[in-house]
Structure 1
Amino acid sequence: MSSFQNDSTAVQVQKAEYSAPEWAKKVIWYQIFPERFNNGDPSNDPTPDRVAGKFELPDNWEISPWTGDWYERAEWEKDIGPKFRDAVFFRRYGGDLQGIIDKLDYLQDLGIGAIYLNPVFDAVSLHKYDTSHYRHIDRFFGPDPEGDTAIMEQENPSDPSTWKWTSADKLFLELVKEVHRRDMKIIIDGVFNHTGTDFWAFNDLEKNQRSSDYKEWYDVISFDDPDSPEVNEFDYNGWWGIKDLPELKEEDGNLVEPVRNHIANITRRWMAPDGNIENGVDGWRLDVPEEIGTPFWVDWCNLVRSINPEAYIVGEIWDDKATHYLNDDLFTAVMNYQFAKAVQDYMIDRELSANDFANRLKGVRESFPDEANYVVQNLMDSHDTPRVASMILNPGREYDKEGTPEEGFDVRKPTEEERKVQRLIALFQYTYVGAPMIFYGTEAGMWGADDPDDRKPMVWPDRVYAVEKTHPLVGDRPADENTFDHDLFNWYKQLAHIRNKHEALQTGKFESLTVDSEKNIYSFARYSDKNEYLVVVMNRSEHEQYVEISLDRFNTESGTITDLISGNEFNLEGNMLKISLPPVSGLILSP
């Protein structure tokens, strides 16, 4: 079957300028980094031969303790090099699919409606952005790594008729089934710009050079000359110059045909296993989509929607070019980094006034199709950024630039005062227009600098964690208790309950109310066509502030209005709300 031709599971999609699936307007997203979320099956933990890749690990390498002090280095790490970062990327903690399945009730209790999984396809690295096989789930995420390896070796990777289902594949489909049984959705990472050097086609290319059947798959600069065996001239373009991530080849803004064919086949495989979309993923998060030409994405997105018209496609777009990708020929949504940067500038760095913040957000909303505003992923942190708790105690750094201890980034635990800022940010995430997205562990109180520190093992309430007292650069530091933050978890849970209960916060219109830069007050309303409205008031200042807000728009009468968080009631004077807010606090008010 050629490239993106529809198969028997396809249905016709009625085109429009922009449309989004209704379910995507109502969910709260939760991002999971599988290797660090939960080890549900220690019997499948990674082995050093696979972890090492082309590197030689010390004989004393072992799985890292889930509850250890993050910066404390094992003996095998010290054998690799003197610095923390010399060996940390060879750590494995054993997170797997069973671990995710075991915690679905936790996510449901938290109010989560949709899960985004970082890459789950078979790969060498801990992050899995260096794909070895798109057609299989990582062998160490399933129950039988050795058996899965044997199955892969029996297949012809370029011939879908030979593909089988490994134990990891089957467990992944069981995860999808369990997610759907809870009326939740799940999307996975699509990494189609590059693969790893362990990718089956690249292995063949590296071995057979010009004679390889896959020599057109990659952006080769030069082949090895067999007449000069003392020198290896083989060279190719890697993503951002990283040779471990060889780039797939493009022609005229499109991936070459055999690559397109393979991606089309694995797209069908995971969206409609055995032809049934009910058993497949609900969409895709696309890694670095700007680095592949638009013609490819038009073809691929049409294929996705032909398989499942309700699929959700979200692109990793960091800048204001996002609007180019939001239409029915391309993506449903983007990861809303523009939202995150605005919140950082206002609430964390305090470089924006309340009025400037309101205007910045208005500009972002107006850059999107109206309906897209409800489905963009409003995140604060991810696997590519410091954790929001650590952003707060390290203000004044660019959002999308690395923040590491080597650059003076403070790695301590946030104080209670800094947690107040995090709670206010969460309140805004859950009430502003768009779909909130939480990075695993943010709700549990996790903190950390940029990669690799943002990828610590998840903190669970039933485990006892070592005190964090080691510093990667200066030795010991004041001890920080590393425990599950029940109060913070309950805050996120309560916000989710409020959002999930009120249609106005999911699909309601947005309107700014009182915005006072002098007092640092920002307020807005969310209202639906069913005459439901909610008023959100935030005080970002360090002082108690008195504010008056006109509710003329909603034809209120004298009476009371209730804060959905505390249950406190406030009197209305006609259409006026007159209220005092404590410093760094917010209210969600309902008549």
Structure 2
Amino acid sequence: MHRTNYEFVIPLTRTELAIRLRCAKDDLTSVRFVYFSRYRSPSTALTQPLQIAYRDAYTDDYRAILKFDSPARFLCYYFELTDQDHRKIYLSEYGFSDGVPEDGFFEYQYTNENDCVRPPDWAKGIVYYQIFPDRFYRSLNQKNRDDYRDWDEKPSLDDYWGGDLPGITERLPWISALGVDCIYLNPIFHAECNHKYATTDYFTIDPDFGTMADFHAFVAKAHSFGIRVVLDGVFNHSSRKFHPFMDFLARREASEYFRWFLPVDRGEGGEILTYEAFADRAHMPKLNTDYRPVRDFVIEVMLFWLREGKIDGWRLDVADEVQLTTWSEVRRAVKAEFPEAILIAETWRDASRYLTQGDKFDTAMNYAFREAARDFFANRRIGAAAFSSRINHMLSSYADVTNQVMFNLLDSHDTPRFLYDAGNDRRRHRLAVGFQMTFVGSPSIFYGDEVGLSGGPDPDCRRGMIWDASRQDQETLVLYKKLIALRKCEPALRFGSFKTVFTQEPGVFVYQRDFGNVSILCAVNNSDAEAAISPPESLRKGILHDLMTGEDIETPSLSSKILIAPMTLRILK
């Protein structure tokens, strides 16, 4: 399959195109991209081989990057395919043929600067740390309430624990020592509810968390540690106490904000009886993001915090319920002034419509990654082959440059803790962390994961951070630090390509990360029995070094085997 759209022809820069073709698994032995200028004869055509980048249970995803001396434009092209019977088949816009096409070529017209899929370079392979502010750390600053729950108490829906911005600032050395590159904060603007997803004032800090001065101090200190800051923007809906909504309720059609919201007419005579709300929750009325003044307001808020708050980007809540064209306008406005700001979409399923055209988001919260890891590591619903298929299918959904910045989470404020999903089996959690930290993309840590914080579905997943060292899981903490340090000193683990080497049921999954002339082999044994694997021929160089244990392993021949203990990850270079 191939079409001349952003899924299959991806401008990376004005002079680089990523080309893709998908076919049934094992259907083809080679794929060649044949191209020439629209204004030249087909006899001047050049060719570029495509290689299999990802393979799931049913499809092969062939890819290549074409580089040009000038902006890519006016390209005519077709594909030369070779099947398992060594027969050549040609694919053009007219479909398949047995002979070289004479017309009906695919055409790529022109590369504009803003068409390029180009996330910020700094975001490639970074480590995020997500904080739910009320539950992270309670400072000694004067508080906004006097009814806080005990810190170690089990969470409830409506109560407060007293975590605040000065508390996060105080604990920045902890986050820095972990090796984190970027903090993602759940909402901090003035809002209803302890989660702050019902915003009443988008331009002020909620007094539960502190003041604007506290926020500036936090950002400045985070930046001094080399840690970037991403805020949570809630623009799909607001709060009942949001001034425009209060005016809408009070004055109805006479309100200047009438079209900011989505009234639902359920009575005779056109009387407004109710309004659309997020998840049908009355305290979170849905904003009409198809209305120009609302779009302008969203852009105003985002630029305000980038300018005045000195933040480094946004995570946009419920991105898939906001009018799609709103995000294109948001991106143009933000990137015009802050080209290095990161834009992260919250969506729980395939995010292609937000990421493939380079005109909306840079990345998305990758819940497909979480679900595959949960099913393989935590509850073992699937075996190694099915896990490999799901991971490769996920990678095949996006351009490689997008995969490098995908927000790969094991859990969040909206899910059970991964440790809880694993039945509180710390070995399964640690093995999943090992995979997360050696996989392509940008791993995210939900505060407390690094010290063994557990918890079931919301609100139980939002427990208070464990600060008592005697109650922290020190083995897991050491593992996080070691794996993050490896990502920083081994470019192949942060920037390298990914490919499955082989699988062995029930739980052996071997994959390779390549960057330049460096290859690293990662072998997961998610089973209760020892496993033995043979390294690929490219890595049979005499000695492999285990980056986790420091052990040197001799691999002189095809018969050489590497042993992997149960519930273990080996990282071999």
TM category (shorter chain) comes to 0.7 to 0.9
Output one character per residue of 1:248-290: Cα deviation in whole Å (capped at 9) or x when no partner.
124xxx2x122122222111110112xxxxx611111111111
Shift of 1:533: 2.0
Contact 2:136 2:168 in 1 (8 A): yes
User: Could you tell me which of 502, 507, 510 is aligned with 2:498?
Assistant: 510
Structure 2: which amino acid aligns with 1:31? Q
Determine if the alignment matches structure 1 residue 237 to structure 2 residue 276: yes
Pair 1:241–1:423, CA change in 2 (3 A): same
Counterpart of 2:337 in structure 1 is 307
User: Could you tell me which of 236, 251, 269 is aligned with 1:193?
Assistant: 236
Shift of 1:584: 1.1
Counterpart of 1:495 in structure 2 is 483
> Which runs of structure 2 are paired with 1:328-347 in the superposition (5 Å)?
328-347=358-377
More helix per residue: 1
Determine if the alignment matches structure 1 residue 583 to structure 2 residue 569: no
Aligned-partner Cα distance in 2 for 1:512–1:205: 55
Counterpart of 1:216 in structure 2 is 259
Pair 1:223–1:260, CA change in 2 (3 A): farther
Aligned-partner Cα distance in 2 for 1:508–1:233: 56
Question: How many residue pairs are counted as aligned between the two chains?
Answer: 461
Counterpart of 1:353 in structure 2 is 383
Shift of 1:42: 4.4
> Which runs of structure 2 are paired with 1:351-390 in the superposition (5 Å)?
351-390=381-420
Determine if the alignment matches structure 1 residue 526 to structure 2 residue 547: no
> Which runs of structure 2 are paired with 1:100-115 in the superposition (5 Å)?
100-115=168-183
Shift of 1:41: 3.4
Counterpart of 2:538 in structure 1 is 553
Output one character per residue of 1:370-424: Cα deviation in whole Å (capped at 9) or x when no partner.
101110011010011000000011xxxxxxxxxxxxxxxxxxxx2xxx1111110
Shift of 1:349: 2.8
Pair 1:553–1:576, CA change in 2 (3 A): farther
Aligned-partner Cα distance in 2 for 1:366–1:223: 45
Aligned-partner Cα distance in 2 for 1:438–1:27: 11
User: Could you tell me which of 185, 189, 197 is aligned with 1:117?
Assistant: 185
Pair 1:177–1:577, CA change in 2 (3 A): farther
Output one character per residue of 1:71-127: Cα deviation in whole Å (capped at 9) or x when no partner.
7xxxxxxxxxxxxxxxx2221111110011111110110011111111111102100
CA RMSD of aligned residues (A): 2.2
Aligned-partner Cα distance in 2 for 1:284–1:374: 18
Aligned-partner Cα distance in 2 for 1:141–1:215: 32
> Which runs of structure 2 are paired with 1:142-221 in the superposition (5 Å)?
142=210, 168-221=211-264
Structure 2: which amino acid aligns with 1:318? W
Shift of 1:356: 1.8
Shift of 1:326: 3.7
Shift of 1:45: 3.6
Contact 1:323 1:367 in 2 (8 A): no
> Which runs of structure 2 are paired with 1:535-574 in the superposition (5 Å)?
535-550=521-536, 552-554=537-539, 556-558=540-542, 560-574=543-557
Output one character per residue of 1:403-446: Cα deviation in whole Å (capped at 9) or x when no partner.
xxxxxxxxxxx2xxx11111100000000111110111011111
Pair 1:294–1:577, CA change in 2 (3 A): farther
Counterpart of 2:295 in structure 1 is 260
Counterpart of 2:162 in structure 1 is 94
Pair 1:237–1:16, CA change in 2 (3 A): closer
Counterpart of 1:130 in structure 2 is 198
Determine if the alignment matches structure 1 residue 455 to structure 2 residue 462: yes
Determine if the alignment matches structure 1 residue 484 to structure 2 residue 455: no
Secondary structure at the residue paired with 1:205?
helix
Secondary structure at the residue paired with 1:44?
coil
Structure 1: which amino acid aligns with 2:403? N
Counterpart of 1:64 in structure 2 is 149
Aligned-partner Cα distance in 2 for 1:301–1:528: 31
Counterpart of 1:410 in structure 2 is none
User: Could you tell me which of 25, 46, 71 is aligned with 2:145?
Assistant: 46
User: Could you tell me which of 113, 123, 134 is aligned with 1:35?
Assistant: 134
Shift of 1:357: 1.4
Structure 1: which amino acid aligns with 2:162? G
Shift of 1:367: 0.6
Aligned-partner Cα distance in 2 for 1:284–1:577: 49
Contact 2:378 2:429 in 1 (8 A): no
Contact 1:319 1:337 in 2 (8 A): yes
Contact 2:125 2:440 in 1 (8 A): no
Counterpart of 2:14 in structure 1 is none
More strand per residue: 2
TM-score by length of 2: 0.77
Secondary structure at the residue paired with 1:513?
strand
Pair 1:31–1:575, CA change in 2 (3 A): farther
TM-score by length of 1: 0.75
Counterpart of 1:296 in structure 2 is 326
Shift of 1:522: 0.7
Pair 1:323–1:219, CA change in 2 (3 A): closer
Shift of 1:172: 1.2
Contact 1:323 1:368 in 2 (8 A): no
Counterpart of 1:249 in structure 2 is 288
Secondary structure at the residue paired with 2:220?
helix
Aligned-partner Cα distance in 1 for 2:558–2:402: 32
> Which runs of structure 2 are paired with 1:388-467 in the superposition (5 Å)?
388-393=418-423, 414=424, 418-461=425-468
Contact 2:191 2:198 in 1 (8 A): yes
Shift of 1:321: 4.1
Shift of 1:16: 3.6
Shift of 1:196: 0.9
Aligned-partner Cα distance in 1 for 2:117–2:164: 37
Shift of 1:174: 2.1
User: Could you tell me which of 196, 209, 214 is aligned with 1:141?
Assistant: 209
Gaps (5+ residues) in structure 1?
1-12, 48-61, 72-87, 143-167, 274-278, 394-413, 465-482
Pair 1:326–1:174, CA change in 2 (3 A): farther
Structure 1: which amino acid aligns with 2:445? I
Pair 1:285–1:326, CA change in 2 (3 A): farther
